[in-house]
Structure formats: structure tokens, C-alpha cells
Amino acid sequence: MTGAEMLERFQRQGSERLARIYPDEQVKDLLDQIVAELQSFSDTAATEPINRLWSEQDLILISYGDSICAAGLAPVQVLCSFLEQHLSGIVNTVHLLPFFPYSSDDGFAVVDYQSVNPRLGDWGEIAAINRNFDLMVDLVINHVSSQHRWFQEYLHDEAPGKNYFITPPKDADLSHVVRPRQSPLLTEVETNRGSAKVWTTFSADQVDTNFSNPDVLLEYIKVLLFYLSQGARFIRLDAVAFLWKEWGTSCLNLPQTHEIVKLLRNIIETVAPKSVLLTETNLPHQQNLSYFGDSNEAHMVYQFSLSPLLLHGLYRGTSLYLCEWARSRCNAPPGCTFLNFTASHDGVGLRPLEGLLPQGEIDLLLHGMEKFGGLVSYKANDDGSRSPYEINIGYFDALKGTWLGDDCWQLARFLLAQTLMIGLRGIPALYLHSLLATPNDHDGVAQSGRARSINRHRWQQQELEELLDDQQSNQAKVFFELRRRLQIRRQQPAFHPDGRQEILHLGEYLFGFWRFSPDGKQKLFAVHNLTEQPRNLYVDGALDGQFNGRWVGLLTGEIVTSERAVIELPPYHVLWLAQQQE
């Protein structure tokens, strides 16, 4: 399909989408402006067809630009050097968390979408990472910093920003609005027109933009195209579920929001068909899945339920809830996939557990995480009460023990968690601090006053390199073993995100599954002992006759044959078995 044909297709798609969002009289002019932007972006040259957007070799690293620092060097330059030295050929994509000028929330209150925070580096340093790694870039689409030019224009009654924000009428019914914070929904500000109350879902410094004004949508389309022009292959839509507001509703997951996400996918498919759209919707499982649409919305959504379910399974020593969820609710539609992760820059979300784990089990988990040094953040409910929203803790320290207390199995338990995650169907993403077994940063919390700082440590390069050189440090043990396992994973076609997955019932203490390559040439069996006790896997009963011939353990090298009736699994052991070719 030529570029001209793709633009023609977009005009049809865009007209339908916009008609579901805006009044008829606004649609044609807005569509013409969007098409003009796309024509400026693309030279309408013929585009090669895209067979697959991903493969088993895709692995994403999540990091702030200043997660590793060294005196006299731009932090992004230090990160680039670390990645090239230690992770080249293993990680192929870097999710560089917001690297723009900001006023709060560690980058998610953006002051300027098209500039690099000079404290981190410049576009040259970003391009240096992009030379060896694909880039994931955040489009922080729901709100801007109160210092952003648009909001300053709003305060001074100047165009265009004076019409870019939301000031509900006094009689607006906001009682049903769902939000993840306890701060006021509306923030009073002084403008040239007098006092006004603006919509602030996340904080007083993060002011929601008004997408009912089509000019706002056009502004964000320009930002999206700019990121694509700077080499972004993955676009992450931050907090997108809160985008559209209507009085009397929850203002969450509204139909207009879904149409805007679909429109952005249509744009990407038109001008950058090798790029991937990812939605960040930290919500109950089924709401999160809704952003796949009918395989026409997000290419990829976060597997938010995995992190807390896996943490609970290892804390309690049971696979029951994890297995039930994975068997019944862990399927992506054709052409879509999950982003699997255990930890990120945020905490371990609790909303994704709704309907999956009894409240008593959640309460036990919260109590245990607080004993392991974690914190619990809360959200406000529409009845005036509050409820736990996320656990703030480093994932390494979250696994220092079980409901029975601290023990000696932290390393093995943590390695199992990461290995189970990278084996599941989808694209794995590892937070830099998981790779480095970073402990809870209580000093960071004390300095910032924010609970999330517990998992946003800034390493000094020299200290980190010394720890990695020390074979007895937790950092070296975790980093080099995970790197070895990731290297093995990349070589297995059965781990292709489009490969079939079959979750097995192996009893209360084991979690296992089959993975199959898309071409059917490789099948791989993975089993995990979620307890501190040795466990036996009885091959004939568990694997229903699929286990024939000679198999090799990819991680541990053992040979297993179908004549071996029982496989012995030490505490927190992981076994990846692939059939040995004749």
C-alpha cells in the first residue's frame, strides 16, 4: 500500500472516529487539519507490509533517565553507557520514563513536551540510546504541568490555552468520578478573569486538558508525530483512561476515550506502521482489557494483574489464584499482546486484584508488605471513604520472606518471580531496579515526601559498578543470573508473543504452562515451585501424555526423559524443558 493509499484509508477511518466524538460541524475541519499534519510527516512513499510487530527477541527495560548518575556526565549518557556495556544484545527496547522538563511527579507533570530536561541531557543523548535500542516514549496525554505554556495562557486569558482546560459549572454532578488520589478533584486558581476551579485528577500541579475542545486533540496528535519523528517505536499513553469527562458519570473509560485511542492507532498505522501503541490503564482486569477493543485499539496493554497476583502467590506459597487468573483471563485478541512486568516506577497496583483475590488475602498481603518495609497508598472513594490503591515497595524486598516471616530464600524467590514473568505470553518488561535487586529507598521517601520514591533509587555509577564486580553482592547475583536467563529466552521461538500458551493444573504449590512457537516447531514446558519446600511433579498425571522423548533443561542443563515418572523441584526452582532434537 502506498503512502497516498494509507492516507486515503485514514481519512475514512478518521471521519468515522471523529463523528463519534465531536459534533458534526467540527468533524470536517478537524479531519482536514489532522490529514495535513500526516501529509507533512510522511512523504507518501510506498510502505513495506508489516508481517509481525514483535518476536521472542523483544525485551523492554524500564528506567528513568537519571537512575544511574556520575559526576560531570549527563545522566542519559551514563545510562546509555551502562546499557551498551551490560545489556546490548539482550535488551532491545528502552522505556525511558518522561525525560522532559517537569514540575512534579518525577516527570509526569510535563512543562514542555518537545524538550529534553537539561538536567538529564539533550536530544543528542536520547538519539545515542536510540542507535542501539528501540525507544518507548510516554505521551502524558491526560494533563499538563501548571507551569506549561498552555496553562499559563489559561491563567492570562490568552489563546489558545485559555480554552484548553476544564472548569465544571457549580451544579455539575461530580459525585461518581473515579480517581486514584485523595487530593481535591478541583483546584482553585486565580486568573485574569477571577477565581476558577480547574480539574486536577492527580494533583494540583497536574491540570487535566479538555479533549471536548478538538484543538486539544490536534495538539496531542502533533506531539505524537514529533515523538515518532524522534525515533520512538513504542508510544505509551499515560493515564489515558481518565481522558474524557462528562458530568454525572465516572469519567473513566468513557466511549470517547476509546475512540481517541483508536484514532491514535489509525494515525500510527498510517505514518509509522512499525510502531506500537501501549495504554497504561491501572484498573480492574476486565476494564484494562477493554483497551484492546476489537483488535483495533491498543496494540498492547499492561498485564497489571500479574504483579500483585504473583507477589501474593509467593508470599502465601500457593498457585491457586494465579493459576485461575492465567487460565481464564490471560488471553489477548489477534494482533495484540500484553506487556508483562512485575515492577515499574509505580507501586504494585491493587485495583487489578478486584474480583481475583478475596479481601482477606489482600489484607494479609498488605500487612506482610508493611513488615518488609513497604508503604501503602490510598485512593478516595465517592462515599468519602478511602481504600488501598497500591503497595509502594521494591519488588526485591517484597520477596524477602513469606507470611511466616523473613527467611533465606529471597534471591531464589525473586529470580523465580522474574523468570515466571518473562516466560508468560506477551512482551516482558523489566524495571532497571529489578535487574539490579535495588532495596527499598527509605532515604528517598524521606527526602521527597512521596511513597513512590521507595522504588525510584538513583544509583551512583561507581558504587553500582563496584557491587556488580563483587560476586557476593545481591546486585551481582541477580543481575548476571537474570541476564543469562534473558539470553536463553531470546533464543526460544516458543516464547514468541504470538505463540500459544496452555496453563496447567499442577496442584496448589506449582505453576506450570506450555508455550508453543507460532510455526509449531518448538514446544516448551515451564514449571515453578512457589514454596520453600521441595515438591514433586508427577509427569504422567500432570502432562497428559504430551511429555514424550528426551528433554533438556534450558536453565539448569538436566536431561529428562519420559521414563522418569517424577521430577523433583527444589525450593523456588524453575524448570524450562525443551524437547531435544534427534
**What DSSP string describes 222-282?**
HHHHHHHHTTEEEEEEETGGG----TTS--SS-HHHHHHHHHHHHHHHHH-TT-EEEE---
- Cα–Cα distances in Å, from 270 out to 10, 48, 500? 7, 12, 29
Dump pLDDT digits (tens) for 106-131: 999 999 999 999 999 999 999 999 99
Task: State the CB neighbour count (10 A cutoff) for residue 386.
Answer: 12
Q: Kindly tell me the sign of the dihedral angle through the C-alpha atoms of 211, 350, 434, 53.
A: negative
Q: Which of 21-25, 179-183, 538-542 has the largest mean confidence?
A: 21-25
pLDDT band at 44 (very low <50, low <70, confident <90, very high): very low
pLDDT at position 181, please?
A: 86
Domains in the chain, CATH or no CATH each: 60-138+267-495 (3.20.20.80), 500-579 (2.60.40.1180)
Helices 255-271 & 24-41, crossing angle to 10 degrees?
A: 30
pLDDT at position 328, please?
A: 86
pLDDT at position 581, please?
A: 67
Tell me which of 329 and 467 has the higher pLDDT: 467
pLDDT at position 87, please?
A: 98
Is 89 strand, coil or helix? coil
pLDDT at position 385, please?
A: 82
Strands 427-431 and 337-340: parallel
Share of residues in the chain with pLDDT > 70 (%) = 97
Round to whole Å and give the CA distance between 217 and 264.
Answer: 10
pLDDT band at 545 (very low <50, low <70, confident <90, very high): low
35-49, 191-205, 259-273, 345-359: range with lowest mean pLDDT: 35-49
* Residue showing cell 490503564: 281
Q: What contacts 518, CB < 8 A, 6 or more positions away?
A: 493, 496, 498, 499, 500
Facing residues of 551 across strands? 560, 579
pLDDT band at 47 (very low <50, low <70, confident <90, very high): low
Round to whole Å and give the CA distance between 256 and 260.
Answer: 6
Tell me which of 181 and 24 has the higher pLDDT: 24
1-10, 241-250, 276-285: range with lowest mean pLDDT: 1-10
pLDDT band at 45 (very low <50, low <70, confident <90, very high): very low
Q: What contacts 331, CB < 8 A, 6 or more positions away?
A: none
- Confidence check: pLDDT of 544 > 70: no
Q: Which three cell numbers stand for residue 544?
A: 497428559
Is 577 strand, coil or helix? strand
Q: What contacts 251, CB < 8 A, 6 or more positions away?
A: 176, 177, 178, 242, 244, 245
pLDDT at position 180, please?
A: 86
CB 136 within 8 A of CB 95: yes
- The closest alpha carbon to 164, from 213, 201, 102, belongs to 213
Dump pLDDT digits (tens) for 344-368: 999 999 999 999 999 999 999 999 9
Share of residues in the chain with pLDDT > 90 (%) = 89
Helix ranges restricted to H, 491-525: none
Burial of 328 (0-12, 13-18, 19+ CB in 10 A): exposed
Dump pLDDT digits (tens) for 403-445: 999 999 999 999 999 999 999 999 999 999 999 999 999 999 9
Q: Please write down the long-range contacts of 187-196, taking CB distance under 8 Å and 24 or more positions apart.
A: 189/146, 189/155, 190/155, 191/154, 191/155, 191/156, 191/157, 192/155, 192/156, 192/157, 193/157, 196/167
Q: Which amino acid is at 526?
A: A
> Which residues make up each annotated binding site for substrate?
105, 143, 236-238, 345-346, 452
529: Cα separation from own chain's centroid: 26
Query: Is the previous residue joined to 439 through a cis bond, with omega within 30 degrees of 0?
Result: no
pLDDT at position 386, please?
A: 86
Strands 143-145 and 206-208: antiparallel
Is 362 strand, coil or helix? helix
Dump pLDDT digits (tens) for 437-464: 999 999 999 999 999 999 999 999 999 9
Q: What contacts 581, CB < 8 A, 6 or more positions away?
A: none
Tell me which of 558 and 20 has the higher pLDDT: 20
Mean pLDDT to the nearest integer, 249-272 = 97
Strands 566-569 and 535-538: antiparallel
pLDDT at position 56, please?
A: 97
Dump pLDDT digits (tens) for 72-82: 999 999 999 99
Dump pLDDT digits (tens) for 509-530: 999 999 999 999 999 999 999 9
Please give the model's pTM, rounded to 2 decimal places: 0.96
CB 475 within 8 A of CB 467: yes
Active site residues: 238
Q: Which three cell numbers stand for residue 242?
A: 481518565
Round to whole Å and give the CA distance between 53 and 390.
Answer: 32
Round to whole Å and give the CA distance between 400 and 391.
Answer: 15
- Confidence check: pLDDT of 105 > 80: yes
pLDDT band at 502 (very low <50, low <70, confident <90, very high): very high
